[in-house]
Amino acid sequence: MMRQSLSIARKSGCHVQHRLRCNRALYSSLTDKLCTENGNNERPQTITFQDVSTASFLIRDGIQQTSCKLSPVLSSQLDCTIYLKKDYRQLTGSFKERGALNALLRLTPEQRKSGVVAASAGNHALALAHHGKELGIPVTCVMPYVAPLTKITSCQNLGANVVLHGAHILEARVKADEIAKDEGLKYINGFDDPDVIAGAGSIGIEILHQVSNVDAIIVPVGGGGLIAGISLAVKTLAPSVQIIGVEPALCPSFTAALEAGKPVHVPTSPTLADGLAVPCVGSNAFEIAKNRVDKVVTVSERAIALSVLRLVEQEKVVVEGGGACALAALIDEKLPELKGKRIVLPLCGGNIDTPVLGRVIERGLAADGRLVRFIATVSDRPGGIAQLANLMLECGVSVKDIHHERAWVHTSVSQVAVKCVVETQSYDHGLELKRRLEEGGYPLQWGTI
């Protein structure tokens, strides 16, 4: 009986291992589809500055030439001269309009008539839907079920045929490929299509026209299309300008590609910069950017949240996590060599869901030391919690949440643990509250819930 059980266990284990190998192979295959536009062609497609210049001319009447203004407050805080390129002010809320419009304008008459298809969870789909409607080109957007409802609805309102498929963007891409093949549609990759990259590069040309003597441009990196286009344009027109990439530490696909010398798959984790969470940079984008980008840094979730908060409070600007990553590189102190320099930060996207914005702002407040949580042990007699509340009132903090527990307290039965979340005016204000609580004799677990 034992031998039979062992035999069954071995077979079961082999079956599980086989399924895991199959899943890994499937994931790798799906990621290859997402991250390349070359099909069976191993060699990346060539893109030149002339392509970027032509794209800039073609799309000039269809997009906003967004402002690139000095930020005195951020410049003072970060000890450098900061200009904000506000491309979130495009009609659909992101720089993606540049590449989408250029790709649509470059279609053949037959392709225009048949239409296009793309897999996207948001900004690229919105951009294609908008400009497809303006140009009379049918657009099909395949979106994963996890795509925000607001973006799904917006695409539908713009006249796009929205197909919901798959748990993530990789599965949506497979469905988009099927539709492209079955219906004879042109597939447009949101970050690796050559025409999309050329369109994105128009930002670089605009920046150099708008700001003189630029020392560095810090560019958010996801699939690599934006930094490829900007680096191609800027290094052609002003080779001395540094091009610095920044990506979330939870999805460092461009960093991994540079280390490997080619695009490679990296595991991704949920990040506040969800628009940059691409598991593999595009092959065309990487080929363009790899020798033109001066440096790439990664930023923490704390810095991303704090950057969104800084832009809301100080610039009255609402951007998504990916759009705030350029500022996050400075806040995270990843680029000390830029102190005193003239820097441009492209704010590349502003499409953030309202519930997500609320959570990101709370994280930003916590990172800034202005949202504090702690556990205080107080007497369980009448008035014990009231005394704690009065002390916090005297300190001038705003109580956001308070909860007490008796059953899980490991001290005297006459004591109760009170969990508090409070908003302070500053980090120093929080330390003042802590000092007052300790002087009041309250045992504390600071920063713990």
Q: Does the pLDDT at position 393 exceed 50?
A: yes
Q: What radius of gyration do the chain's Cα atoms show?
A: 26
What is the mean predicted confidence (pLDDT) over 101-113? 98
Q: Does the pLDDT at position 22 exceed 80?
A: no
Are both 255 and 354 inside the same structural domain?
Answer: yes
Are both 339 and 277 inside the same structural domain?
Answer: yes
Last residue in a domain, options 194, 220, 247: 194
Half-sphere exposure of 291 (CA within 13 A, CB side): 4
Q: Quote the Cα angle for 173-176-179, to 5°.
A: 155
Half-sphere exposure of 46 (CA within 13 A, CB side): 2
| 3-class secondary structure, 179 | helix
Residue 36 located in a structural domain: no
Cα dist from 197 to 126, 230, 392, whole Å: 17, 9, 54
Q: Does the pLDDT at position 1 exceed 50?
A: no
* Range(s) of the domain holding residue 386: 369-446
Least confident of 72-86, 179-193, 222-236, 268-282: 268-282
Q: Does the pLDDT at position 389 exceed 80?
A: yes
Beta carbons within 8 Å of 3's beta carbon, 6+ residues apart: none
Are both 318 and 388 inside the same structural domain?
Answer: no
What is the mean predicted confidence (pLDDT) over 289-313? 97
Are both 317 and 228 inside the same structural domain?
Answer: yes
What is the mean predicted confidence (pLDDT) over 370-379? 90
Q: Does the pLDDT at position 106 exceed 90?
A: yes
The CATH code of the domain that includes 111 is 3.40.50.1100
Residue 33 located in a structural domain: no
Q: Quote the Cα angle for 300-120-164, to 5°.
A: 120
pLDDT of residue 147: 84
Last residue in a domain, options 306, 340, 364: 364
Residue 300 located in a structural domain: yes
Instruction: Tell me how far apart the alpha carbons of residues 254 and 260 are, in angstroms, rounded to a whole number.
Output: 10
Are both 281 and 420 inside the same structural domain?
Answer: no
Residue for token pair 């973006």: 151
In the chain, the percentage of residues whose pLDDT exceeds 70 is 88
Residue for token pair 């908060």: 309
Residue for token pair 């677990």: 445
The CATH code of the domain that includes 387 is 3.30.70.260
Are both 173 and 221 inside the same structural domain?
Answer: no
- Residue 246 structure tokens: 């920044």
- Identify the band that residue 447 occupies on the pLDDT scale cut at 50, 70 and 90: confident
pTM above 0.75, yes or no: yes
Contact 82, 74 (CB under 8 A): yes
Contact 161, 140 (CB under 8 A): yes
Q: Does the pLDDT at position 21 exceed 90?
A: no
- Residue 96 structure tokens: 């993606």
pLDDT of residue 87: 98
pLDDT tens-digit readout, 207-226: 999 999 999 999 999 999 99
Mean pLDDT of all residues in the chain?
89
Number of domains present in the structure of the chain: 3
Residue for token pair 């290094």: 235
Q: Determine the angle formed by the axes of helices 427-439 and 384-395, rounding to 10 degrees.
A: 140
Beta carbons within 8 Å of 125's beta carbon, 6+ residues apart: 118, 141, 143, 151, 155, 160, 162
What is the mean predicted confidence (pLDDT) over 202-208? 98
Q: Quote the Cα angle for 281-286-291, to 5°.
A: 145
Spell out the long-range contacts of 131-136 with Cβ–Cβ below 8 A and sequence spacing 24 or more.
131/62, 131/97, 131/100, 131/101, 131/104, 132/104, 132/158, 132/159, 132/160, 133/158, 133/159, 133/160, 134/62, 135/104, 135/105, 136/112
What is the mean predicted confidence (pLDDT) over 113-120? 96
pLDDT of residue 233: 98
pLDDT tens-digit readout, 37-83: 544 345 789 899 999 999 999 999 999 999 999 999 999 999 999 99
Give the helix, strand, coil percentages of the chain, each rounded to 5: 50, 15, 35
Are both 409 and 436 inside the same structural domain?
Answer: yes
Query: Which residue type occupies 272?
Result: L
Residue 19 located in a structural domain: no
Residue 323 located in a structural domain: yes
Residue 28 located in a structural domain: no
- Identify the band that residue 19 occupies on the pLDDT scale cut at 50, 70 and 90: very low
Q: Does the pLDDT at position 31 exceed 60?
A: no
- Residue 437 structure tokens: 């609580």
Half-sphere exposure of 130 (CA within 13 A, CB side): 23
Are both 151 and 269 inside the same structural domain?
Answer: no
Largest CA distance in the chain: 82
Last residue in a domain, options 138, 173, 194: 194
Least confident of 4-18, 223-237, 289-303: 4-18
Are both 147 and 190 inside the same structural domain?
Answer: yes
Instruction: Tell me how far apart the alpha carbons of residues 414 and 254 are, in angstroms, rounded to a whole number.
Output: 57
pLDDT tens-digit readout, 236-245: 999 999 999 9
For every residue of 228-252, DSSP letters joined together read: HHHHHHHHHH-TTSEEEEEEETT--
Bridge-partner residues for 343, per DSSP? 82, 216
Are both 377 and 299 inside the same structural domain?
Answer: no
pLDDT of residue 39: 43
Q: Greater confidence, 10 or 141?
A: 141
| 3-class secondary structure, 406 | coil
Residue 12 located in a structural domain: no
Residue 37 located in a structural domain: no
Are both 219 and 313 inside the same structural domain?
Answer: yes
**What is the CA 175 to chain-centroid distance, rounded?**
24
Least confident of 59-73, 107-121, 146-160, 402-416: 402-416
Are both 212 and 326 inside the same structural domain?
Answer: yes
